[in-house]
Structure 1
Amino acid sequence: MTPPQAPQSAPAVVEVVLHPGPLRTDWCHACKADTRITADLVLLTPGGLSTVGALSWCEVCEDPDCPLPQRRINGG
């Protein structure tokens, strides 16, 4: 006969929050201008604060309302 097992407790719920850090401008290698916006992604947990990555977006190259025309060198 096996001894009875202790009841399993429910897993603890931990709240984490992801925030973008301060924005800064950066050099865009595609359009050769200082038009890229970069922000570090900051994760806030009960254990502390961590930088988990970065997010970048170029206001010229990646504008969905006004896409750049295709260049002949890219399109053949």
Structure 2
Amino acid sequence: MTTGDVTASWCPTCKAHSLLGGEVLVLAPDGVARVSSWRWCEICENPAYPEQEKCCGP
């Protein structure tokens, strides 16, 4: 299991170019399969401020 390329994009909630995302990939005998994807905003989901509302989803 590995991650694909990580990309940065615009977070519509905090209005910053701080949303990171990528795909979780698995190499199986019959090829590469996409297991899931992930998103994380470094501003909205800052662990230093856990009481802040989560804006970007999982």
TM over 0.5: yes
* TM-score class normalised by the smaller sequence: 0.7 to 0.9
Q: Could you tell me which runs of 5 or more consecutive residues in structure 1 were left unpaired when the two chains were aligned.
A: 1-17, 71-76
Q: CA RMSD in A?
A: 2.0
Count the aligned residue pairs: 53
2:40 alignment partner in structure 1? 57
Q: State the shift of 1:52 in Å.
A: 2.4
CA spacing shift, 1:64–1:47, aligned 2, 3 Å: same
Identify the structure with the greater strand proportion.
Answer: 2
Percentage identity across paired residues of the two chains: 32
Contact in 2 for aligned 1:61/1:67 (Cα 8 Å): no
Q: TM-score, normalised by structure 1?
A: 0.58
Q: For each residue in 1:1-50, what CA deviation from the matched residue of structure 2 results, as whole angstroms up to 9, or x when unmatched?
A: xxxxxxxxxxxxxxxxx211111101112211110011111111111101
Contact in 1 for aligned 2:8/2:18 (Cα 8 Å): yes
1:23 alignment partner in structure 2? 6
| Residue 34 (1) aligns with residue 4 (2) | no
Stretches of 4+ moved more than 3 A in 1? 66-70
Q: TM-score, normalised by structure 2?
A: 0.73
Contact in 2 for aligned 1:42/1:52 (Cα 8 Å): yes
